[in-house]
Amino acid sequence: MKLATFNANSIRSRLDIVLNWLAEHRPDLLALQETKVADEEFPADAFREAGWEVEVHGQKARNGVAFLSWAPLESVSRGFGDPDWPEDCRLIAGRLGEVTVINTYVPNGTEVGTDKFSYKLEWLERFGRWVGERFAPTDPVVWLGDINIAPTPDDVYNSKRHAGKVGHHPDEIAALARLTAWGWTDLFRKFTEGPKHYTFWDYRLPDPVKRNLGWRIDHVYATAALAERCTACEIDRAPRALPSPSDHTFVVATFA
């Protein structure tokens, strides 16, 4: 089984990149984030014509998550299912065979000290409760997506410069640590240690990919039973160098 994640930063703008990547790599499932499109305008027909099943949870111009899979997903859910919680299209989950896959687009947080940063921390706490209410660490579950946190100094190109800023702030890192303590294994770090392995390169920097000025903020986590079956977790950097790319790239986990 092969599962992948990709922040498309507008699926309509990145449609050809995604279709071509799917045709070449043929994962069992691709989780998309930041689709930036209402459900009725998602380019589902293009994917269905290529043989993919489509599940979406989006909104116009911002956020949005989706699944593309070879087989139909079962028990698909969208959002926290909490009437008191804002629905901003950041969470979708479904079951592929025996495995439940959770796809998240964690809030960015924008700037430390703002309401948006507080919301990011609140969202992470709410997500942890959502997971704990539905699953046990012994269940076969994968959590993947744009987590918007670089948890260690090795996960950002200049940790000293960015320490204490959004994406590399102690409060975010602690919040993620509380989540992973529930029973998640960071699959990329199961196989690869050290710096310079990134999934996001900021458009605003000059030649960020060539200079490798990146962040590892797109993650794949699994519970213990699946982590033991994971045989590889890799970052496919090539799509970030294509014309008109997303600022993120694909991360792929393979399971026996």
Active-site residue list: 105, 146
What distance in Å separates the CA atoms of residue 14 and residue 66, rounded to the nearest whole number? 14
What distance in Å separates the CA atoms of residue 94 and residue 124, rounded to the nearest whole number? 19
108, HSE (Cβ side, Cα atoms, 13 Å): 8
CA 212 to chain centre: 20
Contacts of 166 (CB under 8 A, 6+ apart): 108, 109, 110, 111, 112, 117, 172
Say if residue 188 is exposed, middle or buried (CB neighbours under 10 Å; 0-12, 13-18, 19+). buried
